[in-house]
Amino acid sequence: MGKYFSGHTAQIIGTVSLKLLSHVLLAVFIYGGSSILQKLLALDTSITYIGAWYVIISILILLLPLKLVDYINRVLFIWLLIIIAILVIGLVSMIQWDNLPLFSPNYKEISIWSVVTPVVFTAFGFQVIFHTLTNYCNKDAKMLKTAFLFGSLIPAIVYIIWTCSVLIVVNHNNPTFYQQMITSNVEVGD
């Protein structure tokens, strides 16, 4: 698409950016999933070994017929939304509204806004499937615009609500762990 709209240089920049984005998202999903499985199942195995099995199982699932993968993906997504809604409702009910840490004293520093980076990757992580999405929507421009809008908006809103809820509850219930989170001294599965 970059070559069509802006020439060969844009095509190269777009291709490199897309490959880097895909690599970063894949690494995050593998590491995060492996770390969570290691802590959840209390495994004494290295995270590299768990990550390898995580990738192998994911590949086997993706080798299933496309319609089955699509159906499984829809069911998992619906369950994900239901579970997130239940968790957010539960977390919001635990918030002590009279003592919220709404603003950091360092809110003017650029480094404090780096926490927004995951929202950008989450909201725009589906860029790697633009061509597939175009075919899935039968190249209908209106349907594609709607899919891109909601495909960016829904993850961004859900991520912001989820992150705020979790951080507020952790800050109130375990300030020590909250400080460790801020200084990046915890693993994903902790």
| Domain residue limits, the chain | 1-63, 65-190
Report pLDDT for 114: 67
Query: What is the mean predicted confidence (pLDDT) over 111-139?
Result: 68
122 contacts 159 by C-beta, under 8 angstroms: yes
In terms of average pLDDT, the best of 2-16, 18-32, 111-125 is 18-32
Cα 93 to Cα 52, 82, 86, 96, 105, distances in angstroms: 39, 17, 11, 8, 26
Question: What digits encode the pLDDT tens for the residues 150-178?
Answer: 877 777 787 778 777 888 888 888 888 88
Supply the pTM of this predicted model.
0.53
Q: What is the DSSP letter of 109?
A: S
CB atoms near residue 53 (< 10 Å): 12
DSSP H or E segment with residue 110: none
> What pLDDT does residue 122 have?
58
Residue 98's pLDDT band, with cuts at 50, 70 and 90, is low
Angle between helices 66-94 and 141-173 (to 10 degrees): 40
106 in helix, strand or coil? coil
The C-alpha atoms of residue 32 and residue 30 are separated, in whole angstroms, by: 6
Question: CA nearest 65: which of 73, 53, 54?
Answer: 73
Single out the residue of 36, 41, 54 nearest to residue 190, CA to CA. Answer: 36
- CA angle 40/43/47 to nearest 5° reads 95
* Local structure of 151: helix, strand or coil: helix
pLDDT at residue 115 tops 80? no
Close Cβ partners of 163 (under 8 Å, ≥ 6 residues apart): 115, 118, 119
Measured distance CA(140)–CA(162) in Å, rounded? 32
The mean pLDDT value of the chain amounts to 78
* Per-residue pLDDT tens over the stretch 38-77: 888 888 888 888 889 988 988 898 898 988 988 888 898 8
Please report, rounded to a whole number, the percentage of residues in the chain having pLDDT higher than 90: 3
Give the C-alpha separation, 67 to 141, whole Å: 23
In this prediction, residue 20 carries a pLDDT of 82
